[in-house]
Structure 1
C-alpha cells in the first residue's frame, strides 16, 4: 500500500485503555477523574475531538501499569460515542458511551495530546455469502435460546427482554453478549471475530456455558469490578 492509500485508510482518534471490552451497540458508563481524561471529555463536548468519538481498548494484563505501546493492549478495540455527560463540582465527569465500530490499533502516541492517541484502521464484518442464508435461522434460534437460558438463570424476569425480531446476525451476536456478564477474554474474542455467523455460534456457546455454571451454583453473577470502579487506578489511564 502506498503512502497516499495508507493515509486514506487510517484515522487518528483518542484512546482510553480499560480493563474491560466495549462491544458495538453496547452501553458503557464511565466515571472519569484523571485530568487527562477530564480534558478528553471537554474536547469531545467542544468539538476539538470531532464526532464525539474516541476508542476504548482492553489492556492485555493487569501487570501493565501505564499503557505506552501497542503491545500493552489488545489489537482490536471499539469506538465509543459520547452520549450523556455530567460534570461534577470537583471537575470529574460521569458519562455514558455507546459502542459503535471496531478498529485495529496500529500505533499509540503518548505525547500528541494530554491523553493517549492512536492511529487506527476500521474493521468491518466479512459479507455473508449467499450460501450461508440457510444457516441463519437455525443459528439465530440457538443463540436466542442460549440467551434466554442465561437470563433466566441470572436475572429477575422483569429485568430483561428478548431482542426484537429482525436484527441482522452480526448485530444480534453483540446484543446478546452485551446483555450478559461474560469474561473479558470472551468479549474480546467476540469483538475480534469478523464472520457474523461464526460469532453468533460463539456467543451461543458462551451463554450456554455460563448458564450452566449459574444453574449449578444456584447463584447470580456479580457485576464485574471494572463496571463498578472504572474511574479508579485499576483503569490505569
Structure 2
C-alpha cells in the first residue's frame, strides 16, 4: 500500500475530482497551510486534501477570538474537531490542486487582521479536485492538520457506459423540474461528456443533496455503482420537486463554493 502525507482542509462540503472549488481563507491554521503551498514551484502542483466534516461537527467560525487567531499563541489545528480529528471527518476525501492563490493584504469586513500586522489577512484560492484518497490517520503536531492518505483508484464497473446515458437523461429531467419549481427558465443543454467517470462526478456535484449523500457518491466502490445511485436519487428528487411550489437552495447546483 502506497501512502503519502497531505495537508488537510476540512470543509462542510464534498469536493469531487474535476470540479472547481473557490475558497476564501482567513483562519490562521489555513493561512499557514497556504503559505507552505506558496513555497512550492508555481509550475508544480500545489496539492492539499479536502475532507468533508461529518454531520454534527462544526469547524471554528470566523471572529471567535480563539487562541489560534491570536498573536501570542500558535494556530490550534484541532480547534472545532476535538482531540481525535479523525472522528470528525469522513474517511474518503479528494485531492485539490491550488492553481491560484491570491493573498489579500487588507482584511475585509468581519475578517481578523493577520498576526502581528504582517502578512496577508486572507487568501483567495481557486482549486480543482484531482483524485480521491482514503484518510488513514491525522497528524496534529503542526500549525495545520496533515493526513496520511492512500490514493483510491477509480474502477469503471459493469455497465458504466449505459448507466451514464441514463443518468444524463434523468439529470436533464431533474434540471427541468428544478427550474420549473423556481419559476426559472432552463438554458440550452450543454454538450454532454462521454466519459462515465466525468458524468458521475459532474452530476454528483451539481445535484442538491445532503453532505452525507454526496459523500456516499464520492466513496462509491466503482463508477457504475455511483451512477446507479445517482439514477435512483435523480428520479426520486425530480418526483419530489414536481410536487413542491418552490425549491430553496437550487442556486447551489451551479458550483460548490466554500468559505473557510
Structures share a fold, TM > 0.5?
Answer: yes
Q: TM-score, normalised by structure 1?
A: 0.81
Partner SS for 1:51: coil
Provide Cα deviations, 1:87-145, integer angstroms capped at 9, x if missing partner: 2223211212211111001110011x3111000000112354xxx3xx34531221011
Shift of 1:157: 4.4
RMSD over equivalenced CA pairs, Å: 2.4
Give the total of aligned pairs. Answer: 215
Quote how far apart the aligned CAs of 1:54 are: 0.3
| 2:1 is the alignment partner of 1:46 | no
Q: Which moved more, 1:146-155 or 1:95-104?
A: 146-155
Distance change >3 Å, CA 85–CA 154, structure 1 → 2: farther
Q: Does 1:119 align with 2:148?
A: yes
Residue 197 (structure 1) aligned to one of 206, 224, 246: 224
* 1:36-185 aligned within 5 A: 36-47=29-40, 51-63=45-57, 65-66=80-81, 68-88=84-104, 89-90=106-107, 91-111=121-141, 113-128=142-157, 132=158, 135-155=159-179, 156-157=184-185, 161-166=189-194, 168-185=195-212
Provide closer, same or farther for how the CA distance between residues 190 and 174 of structure 1 changes in structure 2, counting only shifts above 3 A.
same
Q: Is the 8 A contact 1:17 1:59 kept in 2?
A: yes
Q: Which has the larger radius of gyration?
A: 2
Query: Aligned-pair distance for 1:27?
Result: 1.6
1:207 and 2:237 aligned = no
CA distance in 2, matches of 1:77, 1:218: 35
Q: Gapped runs of 5+ residues in structure 1?
A: 1-5, 232-237
Greater mean alpha carbon deviation, residues 177-186 or residues 97-106: 177-186
Q: Do the aligned residues in 2 keep the contact of 1:44 with 1:51 (CA within 8 Å)?
A: no
Within 2, Cα distance between the matches of 1:159 and 1:110? Answer: 47
2:57 and 2:81 in contact (8 A); partners too:
no
